[in-house]
Chains A and B, each alone.
Chain A
Amino acid sequence: MSEAIDVASLSKTFGGQAALSDVSFSVPEGAFACLVGPSGCGKTTLLRILAGLETPSSGQVLLNGSDATRLNPASRSIGVVFQSYALFPNLTAAQNIAFGLHGKDWPRSNKQARVDEVLALVGLSGLAKRKPVQLSGGQQQRVALARALAPRPRFLLLDEPLSALDPHVRGALRAELKDIQRRTGVTTVMVTHDQEEALALADLVVVLRAGRLEQAGSPRHLLEQPATPFVADFVANMNIIEARAESGERISIGATVIAGVVHGLAPGAALSVAAAQGNTRLTDAALPAACPARVRAVEFAGRQLRVIARLEAGGTLIRAHAPLGSPVASGDVIGVAFDPQSLRVYAGAP
């Protein structure tokens, strides 16, 4: 029943300051997991604990079912790609890659072949003799990846591997990373603060916020059933609106009452409502089920317009789409309406 990686009730404090609190999740064999969350939420710390570079204050890390919490990095069969790449500047690409190939598994004769093999895998066959400064950012990134993969680790850990690259290179490398991961079948944990990147790459997305686990699940699961307003906002890009429970299946946003929302809370209780942007329609402000809002900005977003408006009740900023050519302009007062059935309701104010 054990998975490739099991993280159980992991906590880590730095001098009294909690960086991780009671985090648990599992990553199946061969899966691509992404740790996602805003900067400073503990992603790197968690990754370093998985790598054995940091010991947790409490909790356990199981690798393939056996306790690895206090195992040193060398015995974990991991490859790590660091945010700074940490390529050795005085060694060539090939020497950097060969640095991790040592011990009885890697006699001299196999080493060279393996270096060539991983260089080919990352598409850098001709550049073996280059030093890091003679490589572009994207190429350095590939060398770092090749270096991590060379010893055939069972686990690949990446810390924001794409964040230092320009978007153009990033997109290409992202696809390539996914492809290499699929071909090698290595169980992968990647840290990113970019939810779009996580959704694009991962089989499993683990959302952290201030050192706590918010939700772990497939991208689809997170998009369709975000467990918390934070996940709904950060991962699914939904609008989060402050509301109040009313009797029956009704809620109110400011003076606007919306019927047909199942919530199960006592009337008067504060709640948060998450509405997907696709489920946030712009209408006439005079309609009874519409919340009045003032348009702050209108942007082009692909083949439609993105409208950013401030709800008059509570002042929350919401984003919605409108067809190209809609007569909406900054400063207009409009109505915002939702499909009650698709709203997600969470107890407590946002």
Chain B
Amino acid sequence: MNAEKFIQRLCLVLVTLYFGVSLAGPLTALVVSSLQSGDDGSAANLAGRLTDPRLVRAAGNSLWVGALTSAITTALALFYAYGLTRARLPLKGIFAAAGQIPLLAPSLLSALALVYLFGVQGLLRPWMGEASIMGWQGIVIANVIATFPHALLVLRTALSASDGRLYEAGELMGRSGRSMFLAVTLPGVRHGLVSAALIVFMLTIADIGAPKVVGGSFDVLALEIYEQVLGQQDFAMGAAVALAMLAPTALAMGIERWAASRQSAALSARSTPLVLKPHLARDTAMLTGCSIIAAGLVGVIAVCQFASVAAFWPYDVSFTTKHYDFNRFDGGGWQALGNSVQLAVFTAIGGALLVFANAYLLEKTKPHRVVRGALSGFSLLSAAVPGLSLGLAYVFFFNNPANLLNGLYGTMAILVLATITHFYTVAHLSATSALKALDPEFETAAAAMGRPFWMVAARVSFPISTPALIETALYFFVNAMTTVSVVVFLYGPHTKLASVAVLNMDDAGDVAPAAAMGMMIFYINLAVRIAGETVLTRVRASTTRGKVS
């Protein structure tokens, strides 16, 4: 075996090990725990728990809000992504930025905004009549806002991979814009649509923020786990519900894989970039629609910002910073914000490198079929595991004295591991598509020149992919800052996090401080995002000069 094969295998072993510790082990522990604990420890035990009427109702509720949110978000995101990529929209940069805003804030913030606007003491309450925001409708609206950027990211990428030649060919054949949309555009993003819908569905059913803040008495699975574990300390029941939550996600994953297998390459080496011609009707419709969506997204943040500096919303709106004096409230204070930044930095760097290394190994080194299947399976599996289930699985796996890695429990390391794993799939998909866009003969050409694969990776593939690498790091950063579900069972006394603090402060009735903390997370993410964009612009300018068009 030569050095190249050896390094390649070593990398594969390391990645496999990573997935073993981060995913396979914890999930196994989750299954075992749901069967074992309690009085006798049998499958019947689990079955009994899973047929609990309360649980069945919560499951139905989760599916309903998940599916509805998924449909609405995907449709809106497709529209918005289409506007960004296929229409001549003025101020595209601003629209693109607005589309990402909810990503920068914890999903709770959109729920808080709904309370501020439509709640019992909401600003718009007088105009609402008998209608109420509390219940499934609140959860759906909050989640549509919170998950919008996730869907947008996937769909925008899918729509950008357009081959101008196809549209020119269509135009020459006299096909209308609408028939080209149906014949070329939609099939081209089919996989993106399914992925987007799937991701939104997962995020929604795993979300505890919105159900807690605007759910009222509407019970969902995520809340059920949370209550079982943190409220009643019934870990076995928690495990059972966490498993139950895996069923719909596994099904969704199956659909996603099916769609992916039917997806053919969107871009060939000879693709030409799409040149957009002005089209008044399309451009006007897009501008109007995108403006409404963007205004909604910006509005949510604006409301929270105003409310967080108002002395007593909505009665006394005089300016105050007292809600930002976090150390006066429970939740971890300013230290929690520091911890969150630390988590985000480690997650960004570790996650981006890991994702690219794994995607590179899978795409470019042609590992054995079985290894390849296992690694890409794991890469996609993480999206099938709702954050709460993953977090709880980590509790069972790591908080076990028999586990050599037991020492990780309650540390920053376990939070980083869980967060990378939770957000792995989307990053993996975009890394994979970035690498797929490279000429597959690069590695072969290098091999023919007697150069090992890592030379090509280091000198060609990674440098060309630097923009995608930075994007991935930014994606991990902002998600690590905002996630609640995956870390809510895992933080320790010294690793309290800002996003969890938002939840806890709201729970304790400190709504304005919760909004204030959410705003701090938002501003940190915004600063990082802007810094990231600046770097990206520079890097792109230097790499696109040498990029095959």
| A interface, CB within 8 angstroms of B | 48, 51-53, 72-75, 78-80, 82-84, 86, 88-91, 99-100, 102-103, 131-133, 147-148, 151, 157
**CB distance B547 to A88 under 8 Å?**
no
The docked-state distance in angstroms from the alpha carbon of A16 to that of B30 is 42
**CB distance B546 to A91 under 8 Å?**
yes
Q: Which residues of A contact B269 (CB under 8 A)?
A: 84
**CB distance B2 to A78 under 8 Å?**
no
Q: Tell me how far the C-beta of B215 lies from the nearest C-beta in chain A, rounded to whole angstroms.
A: 51
| Contact A90-B546, Cβ < 8 Å, known A73-B447, A84-B439, A99-B446 | yes
Residue of A nearest to B456 (CB): A88
The docked-state distance in angstroms from the alpha carbon of A72 to that of B449 is 11
**CB distance A90 to B444 under 8 Å?**
no
- Determine if B179 is an interface residue (Cβ-Cβ < 8 Å): no
- Determine if B441 is an interface residue (Cβ-Cβ < 8 Å): yes
Q: Which residues of B contact A148 (CB under 8 A)?
A: 448
> Sorted from nearest, which 9 A-B pairs have the closest CB atoms?
A74-B450, A100-B449, A86-B441, A80-B448, A86-B445, A131-B546, A90-B546, A88-B460, A82-B441
- Determine if B82 is an interface residue (Cβ-Cβ < 8 Å): no
Residue of B nearest to A147 (CB): B449
| Contact A99-B459, Cβ < 8 Å, known A90-B543, A132-B546 | yes
The docked-state distance in angstroms from the alpha carbon of A89 to that of B450 is 19
| Contact A84-B441, Cβ < 8 Å, known A53-B448, A99-B446, A103-B450 | yes
User: Which B residues from 494 to 549 make CB contacts under 8 A with A?
Assistant: 543, 545-549
The docked-state distance in angstroms from the alpha carbon of A82 to that of B445 is 7
Beyond contacts A84-B439, A84-B441: 18 other A-B pairs, Cβ-Cβ < 8 A, are A48-B444, A52-B448, A74-B451, A79-B449, A80-B444, A86-B441, A90-B460, A90-B543, A90-B547, A99-B446, A99-B449, A99-B451, A100-B450, A131-B545, A133-B548, A133-B549, A147-B449, A157-B448
**CB distance B548 to A132 under 8 Å?**
yes
**CB distance B548 to A79 under 8 Å?**
no
Q: Which residues of B contact A86 (CB under 8 A)?
A: 439, 441-442, 444-445
| Contact A100-B441, Cβ < 8 Å, known A91-B459, A133-B549 | no
The docked-state distance in angstroms from the alpha carbon of A323 to that of B408 is 91
Q: Tell me how far the C-beta of B241 lies from the nearest C-beta in chain A, rounded to whole angstroms.
A: 44
Q: Which residues of B contact A151 (CB under 8 A)?
A: 449-450
Q: Render B97-129 as a binary contact track against A, CB cut-off 8 A, 1 for contact.
A: 000000000000000000000000000000000
Q: Which of A80, A88, A132 contacts B459 (CB 8 A)?
A: A88
Q: Tell me how far the C-beta of A223 lies from the nearest C-beta in chain B, rounded to whole angstroms.
A: 33
Residue of B nearest to A164 (CB): B270
**CB distance A100 to B451 under 8 Å?**
yes
Q: List 6 A-B contacts (CB under 8 A).
A: A53-B447, A82-B444, A89-B460, A90-B460, A90-B463, A147-B449
Q: Tell me how far the C-beta of B199 lies from the nearest C-beta in chain A, rounded to whole angstroms.
A: 31
**CB distance A89 to B464 under 8 Å?**
yes
Residue of B nearest to A79 (CB): B448
Q: Which of A51, A90, A103, A157 contacts B464 (CB 8 A)?
A: A90
The docked-state distance in angstroms from the alpha carbon of A48 to that of B449 is 13
**CB distance B446 to A133 under 8 Å?**
no
The docked-state distance in angstroms from the alpha carbon of A72 to that of B269 is 27
Q: Which residues of B contact A91 (CB under 8 A)?
A: 459-460, 546
The docked-state distance in angstroms from the alpha carbon of A99 to that of B547 is 18
Q: Which residues of A contact B441 (CB under 8 A)?
A: 82-84, 86
Q: Which residues of B contact A83 (CB under 8 A)?
A: 441
**CB distance B548 to A73 under 8 Å?**
no
Q: Which residues of B contact A73 (CB under 8 A)?
A: 447-448, 450
Q: Render B414-454 as a binary contact track against A, CB cut-off 8 A, 1 for contact.
A: 00000000000000000000000001011011111111000
Q: Tell me how far the C-beta of B223 lies from the nearest C-beta in chain A, rounded to whole angstroms.
A: 49
Q: Which residues of A contact B546 (CB under 8 A)?
A: 89-91, 131-133
Q: Which residues of B contact A84 (CB under 8 A)?
A: 269, 439, 441
The docked-state distance in angstroms from the alpha carbon of A245 to that of B215 is 90
Q: Which of B445, B450, B463, B545 contacts A102 (CB 8 A)?
A: B450
Q: Tell me how far the C-beta of A129 lies from the nearest C-beta in chain B, rounded to whole angstroms.
A: 12
The docked-state distance in angstroms from the alpha carbon of A237 to that of B545 is 46
Choose among B269, B441, B448, B451 the residue with the greatest number of A CB atoms under 10 Å from its CB.
B448
Residue of A nearest to B547 (CB): A89
The docked-state distance in angstroms from the alpha carbon of A103 to that of B545 is 30
**CB distance A102 to B448 under 8 Å?**
no
The docked-state distance in angstroms from the alpha carbon of A85 to that of B139 is 54
**CB distance A80 to B445 under 8 Å?**
yes
The docked-state distance in angstroms from the alpha carbon of A103 to that of B449 is 11
Q: Which residues of B contact A72 (CB under 8 A)?
A: 2, 447
The docked-state distance in angstroms from the alpha carbon of A107 to that of B463 is 25
Q: Which residues of A contact B464 (CB under 8 A)?
A: 89-90
Choose among B446, B460, B464, B545 the residue with the greatest number of A CB atoms under 10 Å from its CB.
B460
**CB distance B442 to A88 under 8 Å?**
yes
Q: Render B268-282 as a binary contact track against A, CB cut-off 8 A, 1 for contact.
A: 010000000000000
Q: Tell me how far the C-beta of B58 lies from the nearest C-beta in chain A, rounded to whole angstroms.
A: 47
Q: Which residues of A contact B449 (CB under 8 A)?
A: 74, 79-80, 99-100, 147, 151
The docked-state distance in angstroms from the alpha carbon of A157 to that of B441 is 14
Q: Which residues of B contact A99 (CB under 8 A)?
A: 446, 449, 451, 455, 459
Q: Which residues of A contact B547 (CB under 8 A)?
A: 89-90, 133
Q: Tell me how far the C-beta of B232 lies from the nearest C-beta in chain A, rounded to whole angstroms.
A: 54
Residue of A nearest to B543 (CB): A90
Q: Tell me how far the C-beta of B72 lies from the nearest C-beta in chain A, rounded to whole angstroms.
A: 41
Q: Which residues of B contact A132 (CB under 8 A)?
A: 546, 548
The docked-state distance in angstroms from the alpha carbon of A73 to that of B451 is 9
Residue of A nearest to B449 (CB): A100
Q: Tell me how far the C-beta of B79 lies from the nearest C-beta in chain A, rounded to whole angstroms.
A: 34
Choose among A78, A88, A133, A147 the residue with the greatest number of B CB atoms under 10 Å from its CB.
A88
Choose among B2, B442, B451, B546 the residue with the greatest number of A CB atoms under 10 Å from its CB.
B546
Q: Which of B448, B459, B463 contacts A51 (CB 8 A)?
A: B448
The docked-state distance in angstroms from the alpha carbon of A75 to that of B2 is 12
The docked-state distance in angstroms from the alpha carbon of A73 to that of B444 is 9
**CB distance B548 to A102 under 8 Å?**
no
The docked-state distance in angstroms from the alpha carbon of A12 to that of B227 is 61
The docked-state distance in angstroms from the alpha carbon of A124 to that of B439 is 24
The docked-state distance in angstroms from the alpha carbon of A66 to that of B548 is 40
Q: Which residues of A contact B549 (CB under 8 A)?
A: 133
Q: Which residues of B contact A53 (CB under 8 A)?
A: 444, 447-448
Q: Which residues of A contact B545 (CB under 8 A)?
A: 131, 133
**CB distance A74 to B447 under 8 Å?**
yes
Q: Tell me how far the C-beta of A102 lies from the nearest C-beta in chain B, rounded to whole angstroms.
A: 7
The docked-state distance in angstroms from the alpha carbon of A51 to that of B464 is 27
The docked-state distance in angstroms from the alpha carbon of A133 to that of B545 is 8
Q: Which residues of A contact B460 (CB under 8 A)?
A: 88-91
